[in-house]
Amino acid sequence: MKFHIETHGCKLNTADSQQLARDFVASGFELASADESPDVFVLNSCTVTNMADRKARQAVSSARRKFPEALVVATGCYAERDLSTVHALESVDLAINNKRKPAIVQSVAERLGVAFTPCADGGPVALETALLGRTRASVKIQEGCDQVCAYCIVPKVRGRERSIPVDEIVSQVNRLASAGCSEVVLTGTQLGTYGFDLDDVDLPGMLRTVLAETDVKRVRVSSLQPLEITDQLLDVWLESDGRLCPHFHIPLQSGSDAVLKRMRRRYTGEQFLQAVERVRFAMPDCSVTTDVICGFPGETDADHALTMAVIKQAQFSDSHVFPYSERPGTSAVHFDDHVDVKVRSERAAEVRTVTSRHARSFREQSVGQVRPVLWEGQRGRSGLTDNYLRVRMADHSESNGSPIVFRSNGDGLVEDMVLTNVAADGVMTASPP
């Protein structure tokens, strides 16, 4: 029987979906190709915003129309937060929350009345299947969050913080590297506290072990909080001989100290800027990306102006900008000074205008650099640099007198490329040196 998995939301969900794909294959299922109708459609949902919930409902409705005979399964954070609502959707046959996600394959097999055959043939899972068509693998190193920010539903749907043992991480990375994977993304909810529940290990120590005991070409760390970026941690990047990607995702959320305090974030605007300065001093060519929430309850025009000031000073290479979205089960829902929805959207649009300009400026400053690109996609014509710039192969057939040879498939090849220019859509073009 064939399966298809659609993933929404964060890299942690990507890691869960890739593990789920391996579980399906190990139990005798096959990944459906793009032109095949699956017997099982799985949505791994997000619930971080109202829009995420809406996209989840649209996805299962679309799946029901496209694959009327398939078993439609909804799982992930939306199902964890509001299982009864998801279960009641007409397009959903089976709703499974995060706590039961590891048992999805068995639940599906029982629902379909087919034999559940763990380790169907004992052979390795093809990399394309294990990564669901991606060239980068997401490896979960940590789960849950104890921070409990006022706006965030993640602690409710992911539970308390817990670290994955180092030997398990190393084993998984080695399996992926042996199968041909060139980049792993170490992901979780609160990476900076990694190891607090283990013996004699922290994030720098774990990274050093992964670098020493695996030969994967690139390792990317998905997200860090400002106060977690220490000189000790940056030393690991500087010692990694380029294997640790020079890309730092540091969530800002707001530049107003008053709003940050109300959000229950554990830093100030000045501390955030100091963290950005620290990574850029250590690695001048690194990229710094961020998240911003606009219109949090109680945010005034003056607070918004402070956010804009921090953004203009930080000069991010890319940003995810969201209007504040009420999430049932969070404390911010009960605040009595919610910002008008229209004002939230207007502020988000203003932030996006500035951050888009900064992103393009960063790309323009990168023209002429030679950077390693991990190629991906059907013909390997699109990829990501080590510092997280999206590039595509130059359209011309020759560069420096040598023909450009397009790859027959997205095999995850890493090679040095010259960044030549920035296209109208903001994607950079690249050519062989």
Instruction: For residue range 83-135, list pLDDT tens digits in order.
Output: 999 999 999 999 999 989 889 999 999 999 887 665 545 556 666 677 776 77
pLDDT of residue 404 exceeding 60, the answer is no
The dihedral formed by the CA atoms of 237, 140, 381 and 66, expressed in degrees to the nearest 10: -160
Question: Tell me: the pLDDT tens digits for 57-67?
Answer: 999 999 999 99
Measured distance CA(393)–CA(396) in Å, rounded: 9
| CATH architecture for segment(s) 250-364 | 2-Layer Sandwich (3.30)
Domain with CATH 3.30.750.200 in the chain: 250-364
Express as a percent the part of the chain with pLDDT over 70.
Answer: 92
Residue count (the chain)? 433
Q: How far apart are CA 89 and CA 81, in angstroms?
A: 15
Q: According to CATH, where is 3.40.50.12160 located in the chain?
A: 2-112
**Per-residue model confidence as pLDDT tens digits over 152-173:** 998 889 989 999 999 999 999 9
CATH class of this structure's domain 135-245: alpha beta
For residue 42, what are the contacts with CB-CB under 8 A and spacing of at least 6? Answer: 3, 4, 5, 6, 17, 20, 73, 74, 75, 104
Confidence (pLDDT) at 394: 80
* pLDDT tens, position by position, 358-385: 999 999 999 999 999 998 765 557 899 9
Regarding the domain delimited by 2-112, which CATH topology (the fold level of the hierarchy) does it fall under? Rossmann fold (3.40.50)
Residue range(s) occupied by CATH 3.30.750.210 in the chain: 135-245
CATH architecture of 367-431: Beta Barrel (2.40)
